[in-house]
Amino acid sequence: MQSHVLAALTEAKQALDNLLSNEAMIEQITKAAAALTATFKQGGHVYSCGNGGSMCDAMHFAEELSGRYRLNRKGLPAIAISDPSHLSCVSNDFGYEHVFARYVDSHARAGDTLLAISTSGTSKNIIAAAEVAKQKGVTVIGMTGKTNCALGDLADIHICTPGGQFADRVQELHIKVIHIFMELVERELFPENYQ
C-alpha cells in the first residue's frame, strides 16, 4: 500500500514540476488572471462550466469569487453553470451537449468571460459553450489536459496542464491554477487583503 501512496505523490509532484517549468503556460495563467480581473473591473460577469469533477472545479471557482477566498471582501459576479433545473430542462428538451451553450446564450454578454474546463479538451457541451461565447464577444479561457484539442483551438487563452495518463492529475493541476486565479484577482482588486 505504501508504495502506491508514494507513487501517486511522486506522479503528482512530477506533473506540478512540469507545469512549473513551462514558461508558456505560466504566461497563459497570468494572462487569464488579467482577463478575469479586467472583466470584474468593467462590471462584467464570469461564468464557468465543466463535467463531473470539472463541474466541481467550476463551482469551487465561482463560489470562492462570489463568496470568499482568503479574507473578507466584496463578492464578485461569478456563476458556475450548475443549476440542476436548467441542466435537466435543457438536456431533456435539446440534449445534454447544449446545457452550457444555452446558458451562455441566455445570460452572457460581450465583455464577460467564460472559464471552460475539459480535461480532454473534447467535451462536446463545453466546446458548444465556447463557440456560443465567442459569437457573443465573451472571452474564453479554456482549461484542458491536452495540447492539441478543439477547446484549446477555440479558446482565447488556453491553459493546458498534462498530468499523466488519467484525468485526476490534470484536475489536481486545474484546482491549483484556479486558486492562483483567485489570488491574483484579489491582489489586483483588493490589495488591502495582501499587505
Strand order across the 157-160 sheet: 78-80, 46-49, 113-117, 139-144, 157-160
Boundaries of domain holding 108: 2-194
Please list the ranges in the chain whose pLDDT falls under 50: none
Q: How many angstroms separate the CA atoms of 130 and 153, rounded?
A: 10
Q: What is the pLDDT of residue 88?
A: 98
Task: Report residue 151 as a C-alpha cell.
Answer: 477547446
Instruction: Give all strands (DSSP E) within the chain, no chain letters.
Output: 46-49, 78-80, 113-117, 139-144, 157-160
DSSP-derived secondary structure letter, 28: H
CATH of the domain at 84: 3.40.50.10490
Q: What is the pLDDT of residue 66?
A: 98
Asked whether the beta carbons of 120 and 144 are under 8 A apart, the reply is yes
Q: What is the pTM of this model?
A: 0.96
Q: What is the pLDDT of residue 166?
A: 82
Beta carbons within 10 angstroms of residue 188's beta carbon: 16
Q: What is the pLDDT of residue 171?
A: 96
Q: Residues 45-64: pLDDT tens digits?
A: 999 999 999 999 999 999 99
DSSP symbols for 44-90: --EEEE-STHHHHHHHHHHHHHHS-SSS------EEES--HHHHHHH
Question: Which of these, 1, 2, 3, 17, lies nearest to 169 by C-alpha position?
Answer: 17
Q: What is the pLDDT of residue 64?
A: 96
- Domain count within the chain: 1
What average pLDDT is seen over the chain? 96
